[in-house]
Structure 1
């Protein structure tokens, strides 16, 4: 009796064994999943035993949690299974269920795929085609209304749609990519951030790793699969080889060797970057089969991942041409050949992950942007509270983050087995959530301490607020945001102006002032004549930056003269005429910048 398995993740060589010729006197038994249900003819199969069951992955639209459940098949699937018997001769199908179950419980056909998966990609594509009300579109098989609403919520979290459901420039760029919106959001974030990195020689390597990380997040973890496969195989072998201590020891030694090799790939900040580095090493190795065997990687998954990475790279370069996308999301650093060359050269010359810490953080921020609505916060040990579900969720034991267990992380998949496990976890920083998922944040009123301030680099005034993130309202560290109220903005700029932060010439005359500039920040002091008059003048003229001050003085150089003169002591006011000329000169000469780059943000004092 020859018993062979047949399932999708089995290696190609092992799958082909079922087609080998059966010797005389031997009987072939194939134990198969529903992979053998269609488009497959195994020579010599005369009998099919149909359990009427199949294990399928189910997706919860509301929570995003996935589960593997064994359920009844459809009548169409039962007919396909019966058709596997006697393809090359007479045969018979034995069904382990009654005709009543077949008629009354089995559906006629399996549910359409559109009802079982997220439809965020479909909604994004239709929005790009100027179809505002997707739920009214005449689908052949319409998805659930709740699925469309969840897709729109997801796209708003990814900043592809604005609060009114209209496509943003980012969403328009995402719609050009034939892939999941989460993956396109991640790649476009990397492209935009690298576009700001002038004269940086490693941009092509970082883009290569970004594409590899997307491939890693698109398929099952090859490290977890291999270990779990080993565990199941070992249990079966132990049952058949009781007492053979040498076999057990050999398997134990192999497992320890694989764990040691696995540590070489481990990136404590991201599962995706761990697998991306394993993929990098796999592609530059001379013997892929031997590399996977010695490092405990699932060979078939690694081959699929490598092909997917190459395909994604071609997609990126076909979609990010300056003529076909928004300027912020076009790639101008090189060609696809430059990326492949950088990938190969760096991989062959590195014994450890070639990414620098700032590059790992850039990729981590991009992953955060793609999964900003799938955030979990540490409760204790490896137990977390997730945004999307009420019950606790857990890091998988083979996650690269298991030892560090960061305070905040994002995950790509939530899979329920004996408990909800997060897969594809990446450590994130609070400021990334505020930057890339502002719609999920609730901000406090501006804090009085620390005080609002003027940023000369950004040429804007900012105040500090305390953000709360997600449905559980997790409190994040204080964050600076632009002041929205016109009068408050004028008051903060007026204070900075008198302090000499806008025009340096005013710093030297601060001892001559009749009061402290900080009184401008106190609303109750706006009733004082010199305080209120300066705030009102700045608000009326809409002066809240060096740029607006320069423009105003180009039209009328005497604007604010009397209001600023009133701030000087009476005995010192004759200095203002001479000082005023220096102020006008500095306003014309000093540069201002409104780039909005991260490096220009100041941290909380």
Structure 2
């Protein structure tokens, strides 16, 4: 452990990690500290190294170790052999998580009247616990183990499975009883499965029942289950030797333990076990047992791979720091597991706390459910990570684990405990709930990307840290500067004593441990796409098997690279599986990237920088880094925001190299020189806050009640020119007044619509022009990347398809024609395929449109159609995008336009239906820069509309922008 002034660095979990002083509770949520866990009476905490062996009566007894509090039990045992003849089934049993806990289970059943086993789905509790009990002798001497299930099908299936594992005939040693069907043998059956209803009927004839009763899936709490649990509690008073095991995946263990509380139990003597078998064990009275023990089991899922992650051994440190620090910064190399494991670690300890105290990181002191919120900057990363975490936890995506992105909410208000969301969505949630009261912990992942929303979010979270705990994770962020930003020494004495420390903690987690060799080109390459393709083919020819990840700048680059590879006859014969990866890719195609590589194939994933962070592509051994990425740069002087291809930073280069070597030592081929990397490449990228249009940022802060924008505590201060320009645009849109406050109702309405302010203004204006239905459709289309489906080598067919829908007014009206055709076709995928329209994109447009209709209705905007009058549609668009007006240069013959405000030279993009049509006056939605600055999504306008919709922005005489 290294110390520095103001910060704490933890490079490894010290065994002597001290828990917080119990006399000074650090927080009302001080529930996950090591001390509190140890103080949980009779709570079983099982360590991997101590539970890797199986104990069986007649062998060396388990070594029981108690801590100073006497409340934490550890076990170790000697190995034993199994008598099963089915080796393959035995191996499967040993892989189940419950296998390593069998010693503890047997010990608890011996010593406690009631044992509660909470095991995730797939832990093996249902099939294995009955077998462990039988092996330990609980079914000897004519005794029986009874196991209840809430459903008939489960009874039959589980009984059949266990009989197969034991190598016995179903109905002999293992049987089942359901209504009107009894598959048991009175003389032979020792493990009997039955529904809870059948058990109730058996209690009528034999009220004292079997020796061990296991109530499985108790969380379903059927009527019969509730009745016989009450009866079992009474039976235990008359039969002290009766043992009850209650198992479930999600049961509220605290209330169940409280229900069966205060029981005395006859416990078996763990004396000289080597000299006696189970039937001859002596009995003696045990001490008073205050509560049934709770045993927590992990799920099967990907537990083994999770334990191999470097972050796994830091889980105790993370819990301790989150408990005692308001802000925890976790620096973990690529592949350390920080994104997927930190939320699960917090949830694991939460489950213990919820079971025992009704409190925890997702339960406050008033038993109100709270969530762990994880903000991710990448839209694509959210869906993938949420899916991965739900799979590891063995739960359905949308229940305990969910995600929320713009226009898509896959969560359950009652069940969701881990919620992944974009930083932009979290910002919008703060508009309704500034203190984020439904979250106990917020984790900002991949903070080094420093997106615009991330910087705003960090500034706002700093203000509300007294209400929650913050975890910031990254692979390359400058930890000291981030810790300095959150370090708040000006705090009251009471706050210092009673709340978590404001001094941020920094936890450093190592990566996977495989070395990655970096290779550089000797001379700069002139065509990085062709160089990347050539490198892929060379790797395939010369290097051992292992998947390849190629990082390019965008979809156009990816399509070009794939075309080159597929057209190469040499590569077609060599078994390359070539897959694209970018944000607009359909989900089914995205999933192919994460699926195992077929035998005899080498997977080549060609991706944008979305594969640089958050996502883990198992099997990648080689990385080809082009050295560029697409970034947005805003010039407040020209008022143009360009999406340009720009060099990456050293931090990004290290991230990309880290994608290699996940399964063995890897190699990274950098398509730039070593001299450039060492001497010219920027150490860190420019924060998006300092290179973006701040219009959306300012309106969000205004909506959150932050009027002094210049005085806001930014992690990276924005350009004053950009802030002033944003205020000018918002004023001209009618969003703020002369005092720079939101206008009512227009300003607040625009802030509430989850779109960029210009699009929101366009929707608001449609109410005046009577075309809200059409404008909502256009807004929905503008919210996605593209509605067209491009196929390599089929550009001519795509152009012909566009002509079928092309409108003389421009792209926006063309979008209306496409949507109309989609609806008239019955939302047919065949229609989309025939017309080169992206079916998944159109489905998304339809979903967004429905949500926008609900929003505008709530805002009091009437839903009206203009019935084909496209002039009012274009006027409404002009009302939102008047600042993006351009005029055709009268002296140009190559389609040159100049912006009205700054006389910047721009051209209509070749993908536009107005390409080569060249109307005199147009308005564009965005600018993209390649060899020229191109306008995308263009529509023609009448210049007189500019002074009509924005008289405060344009002068009538010259149609020039009026200085503000």
TM-score of the superposition, structure 2-length normalised? 0.37
Q: Distance in 2 between matches of 1:404 and 1:103?
A: 48
Q: CA 1:295–1:29 in structure 2 vs 1: closer, same or farther (change >3 Å)?
A: same
Q: Which aligned pairs between 1:54-73 and structure 2 lie closer than 5 A?
A: 54-73=629-648
Over 3 Å counting, the alpha-carbon distance change for 1:470 and 1:99 in structure 2 is same
Asked if the contact 2:624–2:668 (Cα under 8 Å) also holds between the matched residues in 1, the reply is yes
- The 5 Å alignment of 1:513-528 reads none
Contact 2:644–2:930 (CA<8 Å) still a contact in 1? no
For 1:415 and 1:315, locate their aligned partners in 2 and report how far apart those are by CA, in whole Å: 30
- 1:123/1:33 Cα in 2 relative to 1: closer, same or farther (>3 Å)? closer
Is the Cα contact below 8 Å between 1:270 and 1:364 reproduced in 2? no
Residues in 1 aligned to 2:841 and 2:706: alpha-carbon distance in whole angstroms: 38
Which residue number corresponds to residue 302 of structure 1?
842
How much has 1:4 moved relative to structure 2?
Answer: 1.2
1:277 corresponds, among 799, 817, 827, to 817
The answer for the alignment partner of 2:318 in structure 1 is none
The DSSP-based 3-state class of the residue aligned with 1:377 is strand
- Quote the Cα distance in structure 1 between the aligned partners of 2:882 and 2:601: 57
Name 1:470's counterpart in structure 2: 960
Look up the match of 1:375: 885
Of residues 823, 832, 845, the one that matches 1:292 is 832
Q: Aligned-pair distance for 1:222?
A: 3.1
- Of the three residues 751, 754, 757, the one matched with 1:178 is 754
Aligned match for 2:781, one of 207, 216, 222: 216
| 1:370, distance to aligned residue in structure 2 (A) | 0.3
Q: Does 1:315 align with 2:315?
A: no
Match of 1:331 in 2: 861
Classify 1:284/1:90 alpha carbon distance in 2 versus 1 (closer, same or farther; 3 Å): farther
Partner of 1:493: none
How far apart are the structure 1 equivalents of 2:941 and 2:707? 33
The CA deviation at 1:295 is: 1.0
- In 1, the alpha carbon distance for the partners of 2:598 and 2:915 equals 50
Per-residue CA deviations over 1:401-458 (Å, capped at 9, x if unaligned) read: 3465433221111222232222222222234212211012335xxxxxxxxxxxxxxx
1:139 pairs with 691, 698, 714, which one? 714
Q: Give how far 1:102 is off.
A: 4.4
The equivalent of 1:350 in structure 2 is none
| Residues 65 and 415, structure 1, Cα contact 8 Å, conserved in 2 | no
- The partner residue of 1:157 within 732, 745, 749 is 732
Whole-Å separation in 1 of the counterparts to 2:944 and 2:644: 38
Whole-Å separation in 1 of the counterparts to 2:743 and 2:661:
57
Cα distance, 1:4–1:388 mapped onto 2, change above 3 Å: farther
**In structure 2, C-alpha distance between the alignment counterparts of 1:131 and 1:57, rounded to whole Å:** 26
Pick closer, same or farther for the CA change 1:284–1:43 going to 2, 3 Å.
farther
The SS at the match of 1:154 is helix
Partner of 1:356: 867
- In structure 2, relative to structure 1, the CA distance for the partners of 1:402 and 1:26 (3 Å cut) is closer
Kindly tell me: are residues 24 and 121 of structure 1, through their superposed partners in 2, closer, same or farther at Cα, counting changes over 3 Å? Answer: closer
- 1:560 corresponds to which residue? none
Residue 87 of structure 1 pairs with residue 662 of structure 2: yes
- What do you get for the CA RMSD once the two structures are aligned? 3.2
- Quickly say closer, same or farther: Cα 1:29–1:124, change in 2 above 3 A: closer
CA 1:69–1:163: 2 relative to 1, 3 Å: same
**In structure 1, how many angstroms separate the alpha carbons of the residues matched to 2:750 and 2:648?**
37
Q: d(CA) in 1 for partners of 2:854 and 2:678?
A: 49
Tell whether the 8 Å contact from 1:410 to 1:427 is kept in structure 2 after alignment: yes
CA contact (8 A) 1:66 1:416 kept: no
What is the match of residue 898 of structure 2? Answer: 385
Mapped partners of 2:585, 2:754: distance in 1: 28
| 2:312 counterpart residue number | none
Q: Structure 2: which 5+ residue stretches go unaligned?
A: 1-573
Q: Equivalent residue of 1:179, what SS?
A: coil
Distance 1:468 1:53, change over 3 A: closer
Give CA-to-partner distance per residue, 1:220-265, whole Å, 9 cap, x none: 4434xx4xx54xx32xxxxxxxxxxxxxxxx58xx35x44442332
How far, CA to CA, are the matches of 2:668 and 2:883 in structure 1? 48
Q: Which position in structure 1 is the counterpart of 2:221? A: none
Offset of 1:91 from its aligned partner?
3.3
Quick check: 1:385–1:391 contact (8 Å CA) kept in 2? yes
* Displacement of 1:89: 4.1
1:377 and 1:409 in contact (8 A); partners too: yes
2:922 equivalent among 409, 414, 439: 409
In structure 1, distance between residues paired with 2:839 and 2:691: 29
Q: Given the alignment of the two structures, is residue 267 of structure 1 paired with residue 843 of structure 2, yes or no?
A: no
Aligned to 2:941: 428
Structure of higher RCO (CA pairs closer than 8 Å, 6+ residues apart): 1
Q: TM-score, normalised by structure 1?
A: 0.57
SS in 2 for 1:424: strand
Equivalent residues of 1:4, 1:18 under 8 A apart: no
On the 8 A contact 2:631/2:643 being kept in 1, the answer is yes
Residues 217, 148 of structure 1: alpha-carbon distance in 2 compared, 3 angstrom cutoff: same
Aligned length: 384
Residues 409 and 427 in structure 1, CA contact (< 8 A), matched pair in contact too = yes
Contact (CA 8 Å) 2:620, 2:660: kept in 1 or not?
yes
Q: Shift of the alpha carbon at 1:145?
A: 0.7
In the aligned structure 1, how far is the partner of 2:735 from the partner of 2:807? 30
> What pairs up with 1:224-263 in 2 under 5 angstroms?
226=789, 229-230=790-791, 233-234=792-793, 255-256=796-797, 258-263=798-803
Structure 2 contact 644–928 (Cα < 8 Å) conserved: no
- Cα distance per residue 1:504-533 (max 9 Å; x no partner): xxxxxxxxxxxxxxxxxxxxxxxxxxxxxx
Residue aligned with 2:754, SS:
coil
- SS across alignment from 1:411: strand
User: Helix, strand or coil: the match of 1:117?
Assistant: coil
Out of 438, 441, 444, the position equivalent to 2:951 is 438
Aligned equivalent of 1:505: none
Q: 1: CA distance between counterparts of 2:632 and 2:577?
A: 27
Aligned-partner SS, 2:692: coil
CA contact (8 A) 1:372 1:437 kept: yes
1:396 aligns with 2:909: yes
By percentage of residues, which structure has more helix?
1
Cα distance change, pair 418–403 in 1 and its aligned pair in 2 (3 A): closer
Quote the Cα distance in structure 1 between the aligned partners of 2:621 and 2:930: 36
* Residue 782 (structure 2) pairs with residue 207 (structure 1): no
Change (3 A) 1:5 1:441: same
Q: What is the DSSP-based 3-state SS (H/G/I as helix, E as strand, rest coil) of the residue aligned with 1:425? A: strand
Can you give the 5+ residue segments of structure 1 that lack an aligned partner in the other structure?
Answer: 195-205, 235-250, 321-329, 334-338, 343-354, 444-466, 474-605
Post-superposition offset of 1:116: 3.1
Query: Which of these residues, 768, 771, 788, is aligned with residue 192 of structure 1?
Result: 768
Q: Per-residue deviation at 1:391?
A: 4.0
Matched, 1:6 2:580: yes
Deviation at residue 159 of structure 1 after TM alignment = 2.4
Between the aligned partners of 2:868 and 2:861, the Cα distance in structure 1 is 23
SS for the counterpart of 1:141 is: coil
Q: 1:410 to 1:98 in 2, by over 3 A?
A: closer
Other-structure match for 1:456: none
Shift of 1:372: 0.9
Measure how far apart 1:186 and its partner are: 0.7
